[in-house]
Chains A and B, each alone.
Chain A
């Protein structure tokens, strides 16, 4: 859907050409066959030419496998299977040193370069040659059926001349170079590659033919059926080139003019010089597991940003057709100051904080611009095609794009929004979908938001005080119920494109999904929800009670709990930090971000304890210290925050570290609330109501946990 407007390359004229990545993204229902078993995969691939591939899931280990027809023998031995490792938010092939931000990019890369494979992967011909979005979509709709359709033939007329113009200098065979990269450095992932805009083009020069001669021969031998001639032409034309402007530069080269229907046609002259300007198509961040690759200008529409060279390469034009050395490639990679994940995270890990106060959906672009400030170029430069201008605008930065303007990101293909940590990309995609009423998921979310706003307004209005006791918990329960439903709706509907499995490693899917749903539902409701919760707590008197006790104990009185009043500058500093964290917590919509802040606050408490005791602090002192710090901070709002987290976090979170410290803060609040000045209870005893509340909460969340486990089990079985 979102690919439609975005896939066009700036220089490819009015017609759109599709990159390998585009083709893969659009046709994933064909090649991504996670439920396929080994036999079926064999059956399919043995009927396909060498190089054809599938991604399926190993039934035993539950890991993803790249299955590749490696030789032309019609035996199971000709199918190679490689595990896909999903670690640290990246995808990589087993035994390869290269890792990728998502599965589609991994596959796209291996369609261009072989690295650890015997040769690059081959897209099925129909997919490789499709010229319109509609064609690709039609192919995509076939899903697994695609493989059953006898000989895949042209789907509609394929007019190559319109699609592929002459362009680009050829630098043969990046594949061996990358192979070298991967070879001796098996210990760890060498670099992180983001093969944006790998482009399919038809043969252009004789060199192209020679470079992949071996492949060609192989293909000719294994070719079959009527479509083979055209298929041949494509496969033979695979070219890769490497620019040294700091980004790897891969593309399949060739010219598909209507005159070039014969494989042995004469080579044509390369394109005009200005078109030879290396385009940043692939950005490879250097260093192990750099996870924040740049977005190449090529990923934008013409009006967003023209093709531009990396600033650091501007002064040193690279002679065309030079065989790039591995060192050059690596140096080039190093030269690019890619923002590291840590950098990104430090500025944006709590992206839920600085959100629009407005209850209506705030476009994610705002968020993005805030998070990525400093990494992105101002939009004004985007209209200029001059590299020097780019340079002037951001002398020390890679030519990334900036999306200060509203909706700037949305205009970009969502799939290319890859400078976010992977889970942020999921959030972005899901948010976009949630605003689209045409999707089942979007309609569901929008309808709910509408109803919920009315309900919250009703609850917050002073006239509706009747029966409001415990109302806040009910509101939150309703929200949690919807969050869970919306999540399973989204997963079941398959509306998320590309599918979640290709976007984040399996172990991170739950978290990514949870964050995304929070963002869709809780972010737009934030202001109204806060308002309502405050009103409800005012009604049931709990806020006042806590506020009173906080004030009472601030002047001393915690001694009854055996908590001595500490003091000192270091202690006060940590208390101030905790106060700040609590303030930030209040600004975030996301229960996960809140809990992360809470963990940081608890860390400060620990530091405060350390500053106090100047020695190893035992856990025995933690709860008293925490209680003391909470009293010192004097922020009654913490009551609402704790309730918010306890009700909205997924049950599995409540058993982790976050859940543990959340429980501790809750325990502290119970202590503070249960201490009454007049009728002193035995110290530490909970008020009767507090105990009741606790049991009720435990029972309810326990049930939810059960249901959650149940549904997970079902999902796993299916």
Chain B
């Protein structure tokens, strides 16, 4: 959920991917200051926050990690509900994990529409020699579903900063477009686009521009 206002915005980002692809390491690497906040709990690496300053705007990221095991897949909606962004991580040496990412993309587009900014992340590029997912394939797939593709190595701390920064900018753009939409007098007719799409069973029906406004 994005909460606006002139001064700071908050975004929710959900982290999805199979168990062993290193999604937790990616986010841990990013949020090194994870225990600096005055939060009540300092649990390990499942809910993390990050504060950013992007072109003078303060941004708070709330990053929701999820259990990667397939058997918990059905619980996904509880976690990705109302997210502004999703980071879908696969292991470049594991083709199966890339297929899992594709499943997540389908599900997210179906449930949340185009409202959510998707990042597909090929992790473990330090193991490039053992790569099993072709770079071009992954990138063209990402493009075809309106997602961005990134390469990272949590181990070498490569590409991670860029990934989150880019995601933030995109989420801010989406939120601003949202604001403009409402500002143009369409406010009343779009109580919640996200909500509309959640109940919609047609994959892309409501997703055309994510807009059902009359204005």
Chain A interface residues (CB < 8 Å from chain B): 62, 561-562, 596, 599-600, 602-603, 606, 616-620, 622-624, 651-652, 654-657, 660-661, 663-664, 666-667, 670-671, 683-686, 691, 694-696, 698-703, 705-707, 709-710, 712-713, 716
A619 touching B67, Cβ below 8 Å:
yes
Known: A656-B62, A657-B39, A663-B79. A684 touches B74 (CB 8 A): yes
Known: A561-B71, A617-B44, A698-B195. A655 touches B79 (CB 8 A): no
CA distance A694 to B198 in the complex (A): 10
A599 touching B195, Cβ below 8 Å:
no
User: Is B12 close to A, CB under 8 A?
Assistant: yes
B199 touching A622, Cβ below 8 Å:
no
A684 touching B75, Cβ below 8 Å:
yes
A703 touching B78, Cβ below 8 Å:
no
- Determine the chain B residues whose CB is within 8 A of the CB of A712 once the complex forms: 3-5
CA distance A603 to B44 in the complex (A): 9
Known: A620-B67, A684-B71. A709 touches B43 (CB 8 A): no
Query: B47's closest neighbor in chain A, by CB?
Result: A660
A702 touching B82, Cβ below 8 Å:
yes
A666 touching B40, Cβ below 8 Å:
no
- Determine the chain A residues whose CB is within 8 A of the CB of B43 once the complex forms: 602-603, 606, 622, 661
- Determine the chain B residues whose CB is within 8 A of the CB of A654 once the complex forms: 1, 82
- Determine the chain A residues whose CB is within 8 A of the CB of B69 once the complex forms: 562, 620, 684
User: Is B203 close to A, CB under 8 A?
Assistant: no
CA distance A600 to B179 in the complex (A): 37
**Distance (Å) between the CB of B85 and the closest chain A CB?**
12
- Determine the chain B residues whose CB is within 8 A of the CB of A618 once the complex forms: 24, 45
CA distance A710 to B6 in the complex (A): 13
**Distance (Å) between the CB of B47 and the closest chain A CB?**
4
**Distance (Å) between the CB of A679 and the closest chain B CB?**
16
Interface centre among A684, A694, A706 (most CB of B within 10 A): A706
B195 touching A606, Cβ below 8 Å:
no
**Distance (Å) between the CB of A529 and the closest chain B CB?**
25
CA distance A142 to B170 in the complex (A): 48
Which of B133-141, B186-194, B204-212 forms contacts with chain A? B186-194
Interface centre among B6, B62, B69 (most CB of A within 10 A): B69
- Residue pairs across A and B with Cβ atoms less than 8 A apart, 8 shown, are A562-B69, A602-B41, A655-B12, A657-B62, A666-B78, A667-B75, A698-B195, A706-B192
B187 touching A660, Cβ below 8 Å:
no
Interface centre among A660, A684, A694, A695 (most CB of B within 10 A): A660
User: Is B46 close to A, CB under 8 A?
Assistant: yes
Known: A667-B79, A694-B77. A705 touches B1 (CB 8 A): yes
Query: A651's closest neighbor in chain B, by CB?
Result: B1
Contact of B68 (CB < 8 Å), options: A617, A620, A671: A620
CA distance A428 to B6 in the complex (A): 31
CA distance A670 to B74 in the complex (A): 10
**Distance (Å) between the CB of A340 and the closest chain B CB?**
16
CA distance A115 to B142 in the complex (A): 60
Known: A652-B10, A684-B71, A684-B74. A695 touches B4 (CB 8 A): no
Contact of B40 (CB < 8 Å), options: A599, A683, A686, A694: A599
| Beta-carbon contacts under 8 Å, B68-88 to A | 68-75, 77-79, 81-82
- Determine the chain B residues whose CB is within 8 A of the CB of A694 once the complex forms: 77-78, 81
Interface centre among B5, B43, B196 (most CB of A within 10 A): B43
Interchain residue pairs A-B with the least CB separation, the first 10: A684-B71, A699-B195, A660-B47, A702-B195, A667-B75, A703-B192, A619-B46, A698-B81, A683-B71, A706-B192
- Determine the chain A residues whose CB is within 8 A of the CB of B39 once the complex forms: 657
- Determine the chain B residues whose CB is within 8 A of the CB of A685 once the complex forms: 74
- Determine the chain A residues whose CB is within 8 A of the CB of B24 once the complex forms: 618-619
- Determine the chain B residues whose CB is within 8 A of the CB of A713 once the complex forms: 4-5, 179
- Determine the chain B residues whose CB is within 8 A of the CB of A596 once the complex forms: 40
- Determine the chain A residues whose CB is within 8 A of the CB of B40 once the complex forms: 596, 599-600, 657
CA distance A664 to B74 in the complex (A): 13
**Distance (Å) between the CB of B65 and the closest chain A CB?**
5
Contact of A698 (CB < 8 Å), options: B3, B67, B82: B82
Contact of B198 (CB < 8 Å), options: A600, A660, A702, A709: A702
| Beta-carbon contacts under 8 Å, B160-195 to A | 179, 182, 187, 191-192, 194-195
B19 touching A707, Cβ below 8 Å:
no
Known: A657-B47, A686-B74, A698-B195. A652 touches B19 (CB 8 A): no
User: Is B2 close to A, CB under 8 A?
Assistant: yes
A603 touching B6, Cβ below 8 Å:
no
CA distance A706 to B181 in the complex (A): 13
Contact of B6 (CB < 8 Å), options: A599, A602, A716: A716
Contact of B194 (CB < 8 Å), options: A691, A702, A707: A702
Contact flags B8-32 to A (C-beta < 8 A → 1, else 0): 0010100000010000100000000
Contact of A705 (CB < 8 Å), options: B74, B82, B182: B82
Q: A701-B82, A703-B195 are in contact. List 15 more A-B contacts (CB 8 A).
A: A562-B71, A600-B40, A620-B67, A654-B1, A660-B64, A663-B64, A666-B78, A695-B198, A696-B199, A698-B198, A699-B196, A705-B192, A706-B191, A706-B194, A716-B6
CA distance A652 to B3 in the complex (A): 8
**Distance (Å) between the CB of A57 and the closest chain B CB?**
12
User: Is B129 close to A, CB under 8 A?
Assistant: no
Interface centre among B10, B12, B67, B199 (most CB of A within 10 A): B67
CA distance A684 to B72 in the complex (A): 5
Known: A660-B64, A699-B199, A706-B192. A655 touches B71 (CB 8 A): no
Query: B68's closest neighbor in chain A, by CB?
Result: A620
| Beta-carbon contacts under 8 Å, B50-76 to A | 62, 64-65, 67-75
- Determine the chain B residues whose CB is within 8 A of the CB of A701 once the complex forms: 82
B191 touching A707, Cβ below 8 Å:
yes
**Distance (Å) between the CB of A432 and the closest chain B CB?**
29
**Distance (Å) between the CB of B130 and the closest chain A CB?**
22
Query: A610's closest neighbor in chain B, by CB?
Result: B44
CA distance A694 to B196 in the complex (A): 14
Query: B12's closest neighbor in chain A, by CB?
Result: A655
Contact of A655 (CB < 8 Å), options: B6, B65, B82, B195: B82
A62 touching B71, Cβ below 8 Å:
no
Interface centre among A599, A663, A670, A691 (most CB of B within 10 A): A663
Known: A603-B41, A619-B44, A691-B77. A700 touches B71 (CB 8 A): no
- Determine the chain A residues whose CB is within 8 A of the CB of B12 once the complex forms: 655
CA distance A141 to B117 in the complex (A): 51
**Distance (Å) between the CB of A626 and the closest chain B CB?**
10
Known: A62-B6, A698-B195. A686 touches B68 (CB 8 A): no
A622 touching B81, Cβ below 8 Å:
no
Known: A656-B62, A702-B192, A710-B182. A623 touches B79 (CB 8 A): no
- Determine the chain B residues whose CB is within 8 A of the CB of A670 once the complex forms: 75, 78
- Determine the chain B residues whose CB is within 8 A of the CB of A707 once the complex forms: 191
CA distance A165 to B2 in the complex (A): 59
A663 touching B82, Cβ below 8 Å:
no
Known: A652-B3, A655-B62, A657-B41. A703 touches B74 (CB 8 A): no
